[in-house]
Amino acid sequence: MSELASESSAQRELASESSAQRGEAIAVSGLRKSYGDHLVLDGIELHVPRGTVFSLLGANGAGKTTTVKILSTLIAADGGRVAVAGHDVATDPDAVRAAIGVTGQFSAVDNLLTGQENLQLMTDLHHLGRAAGRARVAELLRRFDLVDAATKPASTYSGGMRRRLDLAMTLVGSPQVIFLDEPTTGLDPRSRRSMWQIVRELVAGGVTIFLTTQYLEEADELADRIAVLDHGRIVAEGTPDELKRRIPGGHVLLRFATLADLESATRAVGHASRDGDALELRVPHDGSLRSLKALLDRLDTDLVEVEQLSMHTPDLDDVFLALTERKVTAP
Ligand code: ATP
């Protein structure tokens, strides 16, 4: 290896270690990837704290799977730095692989084997040893509610059972970081909720989840932070609430007991739309605590009695459309 190459590899190791010291499970900077002359990732920046759920959103073809493939060492990047669990994916891919689990659209479940046999296969692959392997299989079958189905072939499992088995198989290696690629696509609402509960329990146990999903409701439920990928760039990043506040449409709805109260409130608030029949006032609002307090202070100063107050924020669908539409329609 040339001096220059080994120096840059040492620098990479240092950068990975310092990201791990900052408590980051995933640190990505300047990530670039093209397929031929098609630029897919154009300098991506991502920082995922340990023990959190991070969701990457993007329209079909935005580059989500490409990002997951690079982060999980399946393909190489053209440029930039990627550290996962404190290891550089380019210089230390084996250490990254030992620290991660990947589950999703392409399940690792073998249909001809039973749930128990699938899990045993994983404990053998991880060289857990006979007794420890058996104990781990029993624990995972219990935890994932698969005890009754343990001796049935996986081909007879429902979609939800199969996803649970797939995730249980990933957990045999006790990964620190799990890439969940569309974990609930095609599942019924009950199975989806049970999967969400499992994800929450994993995170409570310190695991970091990198989630891609086509259900924005799922990102809203699970993710601590969300990044929106569009045309190879991260166009927005923040908590679900921060993202919702970035687009217009949020408002506070005030309901009053009498028309007199409604009229006093209209004078006190100024810019608002009122519905005299429903005795309601709709006040545009950015969702922040500070402007809510300012609004309540104004009503309080004018001694206006509010019967009911509710806040309405745009949902992630609105955010996603607002953030990605502009670029799609741009010339
Ligand atoms: P989806 O939600 O549809 O899975 P995605 O956001 O995961 O989309 P990618 O699969 O990462 O998107 O693909 C990003 C772009 O790169 C697409 O235009 C895709 O056609 C292209 N692409 C992906 N893999 C390859 C490949 N092996 N060779 C050439 N082009 C590719």
Q: Does ligand 1 lie within 6 Å of residue 116's CB atom? A: no
Atom 9 (ligand 1): residue with closest C-alpha?
63
Residues 6+ apart with CB under 8 A from 26: 46, 47, 48, 54, 71, 82, 83, 84, 177, 208, 210
Does 121 reside within a domain? Answer: no
Full strand arrangement of the beta sheet holding 225-230: 100-103, 177-181, 208-212, 53-58, 225-230, 233-238
**Could you give the number of structural domains in the chain?**
2
Task: Write down the pLDDT at residue 106.
Answer: 63
Does 140 reside within a domain? Answer: no
Task: Write down the pLDDT at residue 97.
Answer: 94
Does 9 reside within a domain? Answer: yes
Distance 322 CA to ligand 1 centre (A): 22
Mutate to test the pocket of ligand 1, among 35, 38, 44 (most ligand atoms within 8 A of CB): 35
Atom 25 (ligand 1): residue with closest C-alpha?
35
Atom 30 (ligand 1): residue with closest C-alpha?
35
Q: Does ligand 1 lie within 6 Å of residue 33's CB atom? A: no
Q: Does ligand 1 lie within 6 Å of residue 64's CB atom? A: yes
- Is residue 198 domain-shared with residue 254, that is, in the same domain? no
Is 82 within 8 Å of 75 (Cβ atoms)? no
- Is residue 202 domain-shared with residue 278, that is, in the same domain? no
Task: Write down the pLDDT at residue 328.
Answer: 40
- Is residue 180 domain-shared with residue 304, that is, in the same domain? no
Atom 20 (ligand 1): residue with closest C-alpha?
61
Give 71-103 as a 3 state SS string.
HCCCCCCCEEEEEECCEECCCCHHHHHHHEEEE
- Is residue 44 domain-shared with residue 16, that is, in the same domain? yes
- Name residues of the chain where pLDDT drops below 50: 1-5, 7, 326-331
**Separation of alpha carbons 211 and 57, rounded Å:** 9
pTM (2 decimals)?
0.77
Mutate to test the pocket of ligand 1, among 65, 179, 235 (most ligand atoms within 8 A of CB): 65
Q: Which domain holds residue 299?
A: 248-313
Task: Write down the pLDDT at residue 200.
Answer: 94
Distance 3 CA to ligand 1 centre (A): 36
Task: Write down the pLDDT at residue 314.
Answer: 76
Mutate to test the pocket of ligand 1, among 34, 37, 64 (most ligand atoms within 8 A of CB): 64
Q: Does ligand 1 lie within 6 Å of residue 62's CB atom? A: yes
Task: Write down the pLDDT at residue 329.
Answer: 39
- Is residue 104 domain-shared with residue 195, that is, in the same domain? yes
- Is residue 53 domain-shared with residue 170, that is, in the same domain? yes
pLDDT digits (tens, 9 = 90+) for 48-78: 999 999 999 988 888 998 999 999 999 999 9
